[in-house]
Amino acid sequence: MNKNNISILFLAFILVLNLLSGCTVKEKPQSNINTPVSSNKTDGVVTNVVDGDTIDVNMDGHVERIRLILVDTPETVHPTKDEQPYGKEASTFTKKTLLKKEVNVELDKQKRDKYDRLLAYIFLDDGTNYNKLLLEKGLAKVAVFPPNVKYIDEFKSAEATAKRDKIGIWSDLQ
């Protein structure tokens, strides 16, 4: 190998080193959604209402998408389902009751669903269980996904009362 080829190889090596040293792996910015929650109960402020049973809550500077446990409201924004009766009412009620309000978030045994949403019971300042309130207002049905069943008996009772009294989604029953 002659002196000229060695110089070219050396320059190519230096060029590659310079290129590599200038390359940095830029980390993806940390999303505020889906940050781990460290305890089973925490306070936060509702920053967004997705629909009747899904909200975003800011807890200590981290926003979590939360799916309410043991309830299912009629759909308004589902990607594959049409808007269902009482869906807008459930969503409007959730916005009116929770948006920009301080809430207490209580987790159960399973912390997240398959969409990585935090699964929680939401409590208002006065201690009202908001998940149960949706059932009492006839704006949701009980939806059981074990192991999260802490309040199942009182939720089923609230649903039965709304059904008996033909409130909300139960009003069209004969």
pLDDT tens, position by position, 148-161: 999 999 999 999 99
Q: Tell me how many helices (H) and strands (E) the chain has.
A: 4, 7
Which own/partner contact pairs does 57-61 have at CB distance under 8 Å and 24+ positions apart?
Answer: 57/103, 57/105, 57/122, 58/32, 59/105, 61/32
CA dihedral 121, 124, 130, 134 (to 10 degrees): -160
Q: Which residues of the chain have pLDDT under 70?
A: 1-39, 78-79, 173-174
Residue-range domain boundaries for the chain = 41-167
| pLDDT at 27 (0 to 100) | 36
DSSP state of 59: E
Give catalytic residue positions.
Answer: 67, 75, 117
| pLDDT at 6 (0 to 100) | 59
Residues 6+ apart with CB under 8 A from 169: 74, 85, 86, 138, 139, 140, 141
pLDDT tens, position by position, 86-114: 889 999 999 999 999 999 999 999 999 99
| pLDDT at 25 (0 to 100) | 37
| pLDDT at 83 (0 to 100) | 75
With residue 63 as reference, give the H or E element that holds it: strand 62-68
Task: Give backbone dihedrals phi and psi of 153, rounded to 5 degrees, phi first.
Answer: -65, -45
For the record, the structure tokens of 142 come out as 């009980």
| pLDDT at 24 (0 to 100) | 40
**41-167, what's its fold?**
OB fold (Dihydrolipoamide Acetyltransferase, E2P) (2.40.50)
| pLDDT at 105 (0 to 100) | 98
pTM, full prediction: 0.76
Q: What is the DSSP string of 66-127?
A: EEETTEEPPPSS-SSSPPPTTHHHHHHHHHHHHTT-EEEEE--S--B-TT-PEEEEEE-TTS
